[in-house]
């Protein structure tokens, strides 16, 4: 069969090995042809099916996205898509609900993402979420569809648009984070029928309900007690009714309403932004109510709602980080850099909230390192032996801690102050009754001095340094490490090497450059000695630092010149020996002629005459 997963109007079924097994025009037939861990790629088009995904691990995904891949179950019975198996993914469809709803999930660890749920009329369910461990993200549900969370456990709803809000019933461990709930007719989020526990509502926009009684968040009468509901860091604004409404017979424990923006609500009814009709007080401190709280607070909260201390601006403008724990006696260190542990016997600790201020929220104080808020609320009366230990993950052994008094409007010093070099925190123990939203300031004392390292190599001014240099410096007494930088500019902008921080610093006094520098180029390097704990924030500039740091020791050098190109060597090749062939001339002697006999006669006569002459001469001398 051809491998065409994106064919319009066709669903292609692949096995776990990626082999095409079938192609179907009906989605129900495609699901029936699949198996465990299969993938069904659905091409663009409109399908008029209802499907039940009962194979674990099946991925059901469109190839062209939700805008052009439509499952229209109008007039059909039940849900358009039923997810009854575990680890199923439904990704990228426009779903028009069947008679009951669009998508229902009962299998564990399902993923429902990037879908559009739409209906022309009526109130069918958009997504009905049960089971355990589901993730619902990036979906868009229009005004006619509600997100139903019923009997679900440990599920996450994030980055969705819910036109008709969210209905939560009998669920545990649900995180509702970063969703847009704008324009719902009646309620953004409603709790009803049966109580739920450990529900986090954080970072959502819950706004512009259209009905006169439309509320942002509403707790209706239920069977049981809601416990551990955290409403944190949301924008609950411009709703026709209340921002938060708690009906009279509702039972709530460990309800937290913190760091929210709560403005522009109850414009028609004249009721309060937070309406508490129960007999139990509600803690709504540390929220932003607008610019003139003193004049408007009577319209903002009903009786039984505590609002003070309140934020002086939105949470994002006031704090760089925050965290909340409910129903616990401690909160561990998180992004706010604070840990709190409360020791008490008679008091039930309801809420611990911590936050880190962007700037000093109170009267100026010199040499401040950081400002924090630590808030503890409990049921009962604090006793003389009750204590709260606070760990600030900032400062050093010389740090002083001051606490702001809301009664006297002054800073008061907290003693004794201890420092854990191993844990990297300053800690104090105080009376928990003092922690009603009190800002703390950490004040840095005089830190012990530490010498700057002496540079050994390369020396400043060296102009023949290797392209792969080794940097070395002197040992500094009391140093626990060294920070090193190498750059091609004197200001060390975007350094080529930057070794610092808790994990990056060096524990030796040398560094070998890995790579190769350029010829005839000036480079700058510097090193400083450090000790103590590493703190990623100093005041509000996001400058990392150690408790004790020396000044930088800086050097500059120039690398070696590029060698001139050498001429190729002259190669003298030995000529092959010349072989001279000897010239041999063969002379053939002429034929010898025979001397005639008369010649010999003449020669003989001549010889006789000579001899006669000699005899005559001799005789003549004797006569004389």
Predicted confidence (pLDDT) per residue in 97-126, tens digit: 999 999 999 999 999 999 999 987 777 899
Q: What is the pLDDT of residues 262-274, one digit of tens each?
A: 998 885 555 688 9
The answer on 513 and 460 residing in a single domain is yes
| Tokens describing residue 324 | 């909340």
Structural contact between residues 107 and 83, judged by C-beta atoms closer than 8 angstroms: yes
Quick one: tokens of 76? 């059909």
pLDDT value at position 267?
Answer: 58
Is 368 a domain residue? yes
In the structure encoding, which two tokens stand for residue 319, read together?
Answer: 């704090």
Residues 6+ apart with CB under 8 A from 229: 191, 196, 199, 201, 252, 254, 255, 256
**Host domain of residue 435:** 338-443
Region 152-156: mean pLDDT is 97
439-483 residue pLDDT tens? 888 887 655 678 999 999 999 999 999 999 999 999 998 888 999
**Contact predicate 347/316, CB 8 Å:** no
Q: What is the pLDDT of residue 94?
A: 97
Residue 402 has a pLDDT of 92
Same domain membership, residue 436 and residue 459: no
Of 599 and 462, which is predicted with more confidence? 462
Average pLDDT over residues 5-13: 86
Q: Choose the final residue of a domain: 380, 409, 443.
A: 443
Task: Reply yes or no on whether the pLDDT at 130 is more than 70.
Answer: yes
User: Which distant-in-sequence residues (6+ apart) come within 8 Å of 306 by Cβ?
Assistant: 281, 282, 283, 284, 285
Q: Are 435 and 479 members of one domain?
A: no
Taking alpha carbons only, the member of 149, 193, 194, 195 closest to residue 175 is: 149
CA distances from 159 to 165, 179, 304, 405 (A): 13, 5, 33, 41
Answer whether 242's CB lies under 8 Å from 275's CB: yes
Mean pLDDT estimate for the chain: 88
Percent of the chain at pLDDT > 70 equals: 89
Contact 231, 256 (CB under 8 A): yes
Instruction: Indicate if 423 and 466 belong to the same structural domain.
Output: no
The mean-pLDDT minimum among 246-255, 360-369, 601-610 falls in: 601-610
CA distances 94 to 104, 142, 272, 439, Å, are 15, 11, 39, 50
With 70 as the cut, is the pLDDT of residue 579 above it?
no
pLDDT tens figures, 305-332: 988 888 889 999 999 999 999 889 999 9
Q: What is the pLDDT of residue 123?
A: 79
| Residue 4 binned pLDDT confidence (cut-offs 50, 70, 90) | low
Nearest to 73 by CA among 88, 42, 94, 57: 94
For the beta carbon of residue 447, count every other beta carbon within 10 angstroms.
16
Residue 538 belongs to some domain of the structure:
yes
Average pLDDT value for residue range 277-283: 92
According to the model, what pLDDT value does residue 552 have? 94
Report the pLDDT value the prediction gives residue 302, as an integer from 0 to 100: 87
**Residues 357 and 420 grouped into a single domain:** yes
Q: Is the pLDDT of residue 357 over 70?
A: yes
pLDDT at 620 over 90: no
Report which of 87, 153, 90, 154 is spatially closest to residue 127, judged by C-alpha positions: 90
Is it the case that residue 422 has pLDDT exceeding 70?
yes
Residues 361 and 406 placed together within one structural domain of the fold: yes
User: What's the pTM?
Assistant: 0.71
Q: Which of 149-163, 562-576, 589-603 has the lowest mean pLDDT?
A: 589-603
pLDDT at residue number 269? 55
Domain final position from 505, 539, 558: 558
φ, ψ at 76 (rounded to 5°): -90, 165
Given this model, what pLDDT does residue 539 score?
36
Position 467 in a domain: yes
Same domain, 382 and 415: yes
Quote the CA–CA distance of 280 and 615 in Å, as a whole number.
Answer: 190
Distance of CA 555 to the CA centre of its chain: 35
- The HSE-up count of residue 561 (CA atoms within 13 Å, CB side) is 3
In a domain, 198, yes or no: no
| Rounded-to-integer distance, Cα 299 and Cα 295, Å | 9
pLDDT band at 207 (very low <50, low <70, confident <90, very high): very high
Does 169 score more than 90 pLDDT? yes
Q: What separation in angstroms does the CA of 622 have from each of 574, 614, 615, 618, 619?
A: 84, 13, 11, 7, 5
pLDDT at 540: 35
- Whether residues 485 and 389 fall in one domain: no
User: Which of the four pLDDT bands, split at 50, 70 and 90, describes residue 541?
Assistant: very low
pLDDT score recorded for residue 218: 95
Residues 204, 174 contacting (CB under 8 angstroms): no
Asked if residue 560 has pLDDT above 60, the reply is yes
Which of the listed residues 422, 443, 464 is the one where a domain comes to its end?
443
**pLDDT greater than 70 at residue 502:** yes
Q: Say what the pLDDT of residue 282 is.
A: 92
Q: Judge if 425 and 472 occupy the same domain.
A: no
CA 537 and chain centroid, separation: 18
Segment 407-415 shows an average pLDDT of 89
pLDDT value at 537 more than 90: no
Examine residue 437 and state whether it is found in any structural domain, yes or no.
Answer: yes
What is the rounded CA–CA span in Å between residue 428 and residue 261?
32
Q: What is the CATH number of the domain that holds 484?
A: 2.60.40.10
The more confident residue out of 553 and 621 is: 553
Average pLDDT rounded to a whole number, residues 283-291:
88
pLDDT value at 534 more than 90: no
Q: How many CB atoms lie within 10 A of CB 590?
A: 6
- pLDDT, position 538: 41
* Band (589; pLDDT cuts 50, 70, 90): low
Q: Are 378 and 438 part of one and the same domain?
A: yes
Per-residue pLDDT tens for 34-83? 999 999 999 999 999 999 999 999 999 999 999 999 999 999 999 999 99
- 495 located within any domain: yes
160 Cα distance to chain centroid: 21
Q: Is the same domain home to 394 and 475? A: no
Domain count along the chain: 2
Q: Which DSSP state fits 268? A: T
Asked whether residue 423 falls in the same domain as residue 475, the answer is: no
Whether 375 is in a domain gets the answer: yes
Question: Does some domain include residue 563?
Answer: no
């Amino acid at each position: 069969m051809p491998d065409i997963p994106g064919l319009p109007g066709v669903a292609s079924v692949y096995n776990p090995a990626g082999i095409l097994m079938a192609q179907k025009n009906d989605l129900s037939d495609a699901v029936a042809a699949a198996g465990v861990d299969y993938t069904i790629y659905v091409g663009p088009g409109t399908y008029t099916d209802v499907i039940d995904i009962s194979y674990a691990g099946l991925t059901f995904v469109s190839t062209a996205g939700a805008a052009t891949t439509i499952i229209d179950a109008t007039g059909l019975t039940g849900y358009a898509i039923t997810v009854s198996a575990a680890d199923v993914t439904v990704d990228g469809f426009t779903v028009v609900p069947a008679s009951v709803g669009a998508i229902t999930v009962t299998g564990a660890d399902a993923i429902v993402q990037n879908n559009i749920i739409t209906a022309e009329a009526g109130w069918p369910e958009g997504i009905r979420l049960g089971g355990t461990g589901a993730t619902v993200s990036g979906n868009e549900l229009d005004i006619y569809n509600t997100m139903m969370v019923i009997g679900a456990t440990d599920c996450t709803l994030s980055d969705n648009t819910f036109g008709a809000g969210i209905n939560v019933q009998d669920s545990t461990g649900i995180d509702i984070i970063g969703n847009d709930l704008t324009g719902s007719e009646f309620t953004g989020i409603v709790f009803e029928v049966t109580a739920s526990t450990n529900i986090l509502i954080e970072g959502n926009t819950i706004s512009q309900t259209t009905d006169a009684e439309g509320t942002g968040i509403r707790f209706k009468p239920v069977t049981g007690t809601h416990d551990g509901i955290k409403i944190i860091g949301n924008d609950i604004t411009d709703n026709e009714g209340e921002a938060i409404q708690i009906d009279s017979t509702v039972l709530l424990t460990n309800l937290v309403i913190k760091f929210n923006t709560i403005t522009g609500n109850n414009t028609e009814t004249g009721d309060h932004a937070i309406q508490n009709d129960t007999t139990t007080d509600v803690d709504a401190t540390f929220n932003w109510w607008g610019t003139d709280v003193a004049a408007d607070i009577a319209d903002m909260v009903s009786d039984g709602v505590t609002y003070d201390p309140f934020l002086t601006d939105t949470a994002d403008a006031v704090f760089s980080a925050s965290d909340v724990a409910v129903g616990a006696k401690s909160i561990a260190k998180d992004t706010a850099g604070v840990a709190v542990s409360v020791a008490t016997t008679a008091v039930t600790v309801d809420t611990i909230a911590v936050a880190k201020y962007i700037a000093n929220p109170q009267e100026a104080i010199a040499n401040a390192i950081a400002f924090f808020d630590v808030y503890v609320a409990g049921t009962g009366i604090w006793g003389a032996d009750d204590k709260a230990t606070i760990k600030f993950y900032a400062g050093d052994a010389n740090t002083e801690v001051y606490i702001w008094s809301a009664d006297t409007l002054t800073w008061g010093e907290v003693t004794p102050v201890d420092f854990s070099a191993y844990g990297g925190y300053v800690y104090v123990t105080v009376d928990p009754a003092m922690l009603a939203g009190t800002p703390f300031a950490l004040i840095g004392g005089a830190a012990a001095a530490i010498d700057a390292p002496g540079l050994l190599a390369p020396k400043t001014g060296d102009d023949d340094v290797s392209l792969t240099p080794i940097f070395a410096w002197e040992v500094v007494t009391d140093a626990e490490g060294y920070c090193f930088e190498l750059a091609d500019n004197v200001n060390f902008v975007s350094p080529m090497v930057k070794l610092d921080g808790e994990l990056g610093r060096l524990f030796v006094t040398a560094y070998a450059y890995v790579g190769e520098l350029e010829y005839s180029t000036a480079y700058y390097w510097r090193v400083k000695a450090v000790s103590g704990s590493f703190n990623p924030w100093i005041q509000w500039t996001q400058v990392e630092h150690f408790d004790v740091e020396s000044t930088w020791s800086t050097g500059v050098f120039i690398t070696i010149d590029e060698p001139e190109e050498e001429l190729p060597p002259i190669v003298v090749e030995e000529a092959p020996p010349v072989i001279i062939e000897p010239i041999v001339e063969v002379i053939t002697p002429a034929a010898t002629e025979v001397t005639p006999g008369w010649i010999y006669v003449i020669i003989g006569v001549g010889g006789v005459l000579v001899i006669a002459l000699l005899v005559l001469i001799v005789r003549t001398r004797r006569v004389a």
